[in-house]
Amino acid sequence: MHLTGGSPFYLIKDGLQTSYPKLLQNTETNIVIIGGGISGALSAYYLTNAGIDCILLDARTIGLGSTCASTSLLQYELDTPLHILKEKIGERNAGKAYRLCGDAIDTIMQIMNDINFKDYQNTASLFFSTHSSEKKFMRKEFDARRSAGFHVSLLNKDELKNEYGLKANYAILSQEGCCTDAYALTYALLNYSIKKGLQVFDRTAIKKINYKKNTTLTTEDGYLIKAKNIINATGYEVVNFIPKGIVDFYCTYAVASEQSSEKNQYEKNKVMMWNTDDPYLYMRLTKDNRIIVGGRDESFSNSFTRQTLLDKKARQLQKDFNKVFPALELKKEFVWSGTFGKTKDSMPYIGAYKKTPNTYYALGFGGNGITFGVVAAKILCDIICGKPTANAKLFSFER
């Protein structure tokens, strides 16, 4: 499946950062990680730090799946608002899922510091509504988040205009959030883990897996890899390994503006923003003073349709931005699209799947896949190390 289209900003900005070899011999290891995006890289980081021998493989060049198209907003919010998620899975589980994502933001910032990765900004997040009819909805969500222990404020129309130049009626301001560059971070994590023994091979597709006691993977070129366990971090391409039905596929679109030459033009836009619409509009500021705007999601049909819609979606995103920021001009420079998946409860799938023995999954579906990637990496590392994993059941395939 082709997961991206157009010209992803971070792929253009960062380029190909490291060249990794293709696997061209039979080998044996403790853990094989399938998937060289941000989720696979985080799993590799945790495992190698725990002293576990592992190999990471990707069918593409590293990072050229969904990761290079990520707009890299790190939020604790799931795609389903907390007060609605409580109705679906219960107050205790919903609160725990949100808090785990909040903790994951702190964790990934600590990881970035540990590996000396500087391209991130600790920033607040603004969840806003342009609809006057959603006053009750926003109050319920604010109360749910505050009860769950988050540092939140409820802002009105005048406060939003004065503080952010935003044309909206209500918003919840959260202090927990981060913006980064998921594509560059993936390379940084892998190169750090290589120093601790990780082996990385790209352009190495898996053709067949023998899920028995002596697990064996066969590459497209016919080479064999024997392993005790597999971690599958293939994201939206997991349908190549397990039956369809656990996730629905969508396509999201994004625009990156020209770099602003006016130093203070976007000064008020340093917080991440997303709104209550379905599909929602999301925005962030980059380190080099560009606005990234994304949204206008549609059900994924095929790569051709996704590509042909790029110009139309870019124009719509510019209009969407101008509606909420009438005083600002957004001149697009890069336009791209990416395929992503949604589950019925907006939760990831993490852990074992009964039809594929000796295999664990790190599938951070939805809008906050990076924070889910942190949660998955920690849970799976604990399982493999034989440590207690109280949170595994929350994200299991059997939930």
Domain ranges of the chain: 18-70+183-246+346-395
Q: Residue 267 has what pLDDT?
A: 64
Residue type, 370: I
Q: Residue 90 has what pLDDT?
A: 96
Q: Who contacts 282 (Cβ-Cβ below 8 Å, separation ≥6)? A: 71, 73, 272, 273, 274, 275, 293, 294, 295, 367
Q: What whole-number distance in Å separates Cα of residue 201 and Cα of residue 197? A: 13
Counts for the chain of helices (H) and strands (E), in that order: 10, 20
Do residues 40 and 33 touch, judged by C-beta distance below 8 A? yes
What element of type H or E holds 55? strand 54-57
Please tell me the number of Cα atoms within 13 Å of 152 on its side-chain side. Answer: 23
Q: What whole-number distance in Å separates Cα of residue 338 and Cα of residue 43? A: 22
The residues with which 155 forms a beta bridge, in sequence order, are 171
Q: Who contacts 84 (Cβ-Cβ below 8 Å, separation ≥6)? A: none
Q: Residue 3 has what pLDDT?
A: 62
Residue type, 359: T
Instruction: Identify which of 336, 339, 338, 334 has the alpha carbon closest to the alpha carbon of residue 288.
Output: 334
Q: Residue 2 has what pLDDT?
A: 60
Q: Residue 368 has what pLDDT?
A: 86
Helices (H), the chain: 9-14, 38-49, 82-89, 91-114, 135-147, 157-164, 182-194, 303-308, 310-324, 369-384
CA 329 to mean position of chain CA atoms: 28
Q: What is the third-level CATH fold of 18-70+183-246+346-395?
A: FAD/NAD(P)-binding domain (3.50.50)
Q: Who contacts 95 (Cβ-Cβ below 8 Å, separation ≥6)? A: 82, 86, 147, 148
The residues with which 71 forms a beta bridge, in sequence order, are none
pLDDT tens for the chain, 399 residues: list them.
566 778 999 999 999 999 999 999 999 999 999 999 999 999 999 999 999 999 999 999 999 999 999 999 999 999 999 999 999 999 999 999 999 999 999 999 999 999 999 999 999 999 999 999 999 999 999 999 999 999 999 999 999 999 999 999 999 999 999 999 999 999 999 999 999 999 999 999 999 999 987 899 999 999 999 999 999 999 877 877 776 677 888 889 999 999 987 655 666 668 999 999 988 999 999 988 999 999 999 887 666 566 788 999 999 999 999 999 999 989 999 999 988 888 889 999 999 999 999 999 999 887 788 999 999 999 999 999 999 888 999 999 988
From residue 122, give the alpha-carbon distance in Å to each of 102, 207, 268, 270, 326: 13, 41, 15, 10, 27
Residue type, 19: S
Report the predicted TM-score, pTM, of the whole model to 2 decimal places.
0.94
Q: Residue 263 has what pLDDT?
A: 59
Which residue carries 């730090």 as its tokens? Answer: 49
3-state secondary structure of 293: strand
